[in-house]
Amino acid sequence: MPTRWPASGIICWSFEAWERSLTLNIQSQVLLATRNTLRLPTRAEYLVDVDSDAEILEALRYARQRRWPVTVLGGGSNTVFAQDLVGLVICIRTRGIELIDERVIAAAGESWDHLVRHTIEAGLSGLENLTLIPGLVGAAPIQNIGAYGVELAGVVEAVHAIDIATEETLVLSNLDCQFGYRDSIFKRALHQRVIITQVCLRLNHSFVPQLDYLDLQRWRALQSPENVTAKQVSAVVADIRRKKLPDPAIVGNVGSFFKNPQIDADAWRQLQQDFPGLTGREQVDGSWKLSAAWLIDSLGLKGFKVGDAAVSDQHALVLINKGKATSQDVLALARQVQQQVMSRFNLQLEIEPVIIP
């Protein structure tokens, strides 16, 4: 269970006096198109940017006094808005990175890729395979971000958060976070119930490269193994991602829209017989993780559109906004893809990003 600390140092005063002291800039009817990488034209009834834990608590009290529901938003790079957001949207903008030997403490509002580059420059390894993943640090444990054989769960020591209802400070250990494949307790039992404020990581001064993925193996074959560095691996991963995935700064998207389905060995053998080109990777427990991109691509769905939402021509796992897509377009497209994959392969594709609300 997470450790709970009381929110110490909080002064209680009358609502009238507290409201007069309010320093937050709360906006109304805010268009969120520039605050989510899918560029969906969703509106927030009210919105506030916070850059400290004190401002988070202040915003929570402001919403509570008005009985507004609260939605937490980071970089919007793994978020799909299903509709306009009622109540107060709290946007996390806290900053700061602290290095203590091999321990890294990062504020939730830090850019994830900035953190990766910062730790590599400091001579630490462990995050290089997670280079160029968009979004903020606070979202990383929610999704248990992963790429090229590495998951965040492998380096998380603890996650600090504020309980939205009680304002208590929580410290969740790695075990408390209940990490799974693109999953954590923050997507389930604690979804929109806590605000992550800090993430503590344990990295390494000694570098052991993780180069199991085919693209990285090809690169490694051209290198002298003793000369491979974390900085080199980071650069190669960045190059691979730029070639394979559409840049959200140019084309609206949230990266991989579906998880790779995982099946047992018997099901894998049967599917291989039925679909000889099927690709997958065997897991340590003997199960197989299939390529959702291959499933979608084999159905000829690249370029398939619903409204102004489409399956990317560049990567079948990515749904893009071609300019004027709505939430309804994106979710309808996702359902169409799921239905066609189920009809052809009898496999259920699970959506990877967080759907709000």
- Considering 45, 70, 92, which residue would you say is the last residue of a domain? 92
Query: Which are the catalytic amino acids?
Result: 182, 256, 352
- Considering 49, 75, 92, which residue would you say is the last residue of a domain? 92
What pLDDT score does 21 carry?
45
Spell out the long-range contacts of 15-18 with Cβ–Cβ below 8 A and sequence spacing 24 or more: 15/65, 18/61
Distances, alpha carbon 185 to alpha carbons 16, 126, 127, 180, 298, in Å? 37, 23, 22, 9, 33
- How many separate domains does the chain show? 2
Q: Which helix (DSSP H) or strand (DSSP E) does residue 27 occupy?
A: strand 27-31
Is residue 147 included in any domain, yes or no? no
What pLDDT score does 225 carry?
63
Alpha carbon distance, N-terminus to C-terminus of the chain: 26
User: What is the rounded average pLDDT of the residues 140-156?
Assistant: 96
B/e letters for 76-101, b = 16+ CB within 10 Å, e = fewer, are bbbbbbeeebebbbbbbbbeeeeeee
Range of the domain at 335: 252-356
Span 169-222, pLDDT tens digits: 999 999 999 999 999 999 999 998 999 999 999 999 999 988 888 888 888 777
What pLDDT score does 1 carry?
57
Calpha distance 96→199 (Å, rounded): 11
What pLDDT score does 3 carry?
53
The rounded percent of the chain whose pLDDT value lies above 90 is 84
What pLDDT score does 22 carry?
55
What pLDDT score does 212 carry?
84
Is the pLDDT assigned to residue 76 strictly greater than 50?
yes
Calpha distance 90→49 (Å, rounded): 6
Instruction: Read off the amino acid at residue 44.
Output: A
Query: What is the CATH classification number for the domain harbouring 42?
Result: 3.30.43.10
Query: What is the CATH classification number for the domain harbouring 296?
Result: 3.90.78.10
CA 154 to chain CA centroid, nearest Å: 16
CA atoms within 13 A on the CB side of 255: 19
Span 22-64, pLDDT tens digits: 589 999 999 999 999 999 999 999 999 999 999 999 999 999 9
Is the pLDDT assigned to residue 305 strictly greater than 90?
yes
Is residue 233 included in any domain, yes or no? no
Is the pLDDT assigned to residue 293 strictly greater than 70?
yes
CA atoms within 13 A on the CB side of 69: 10
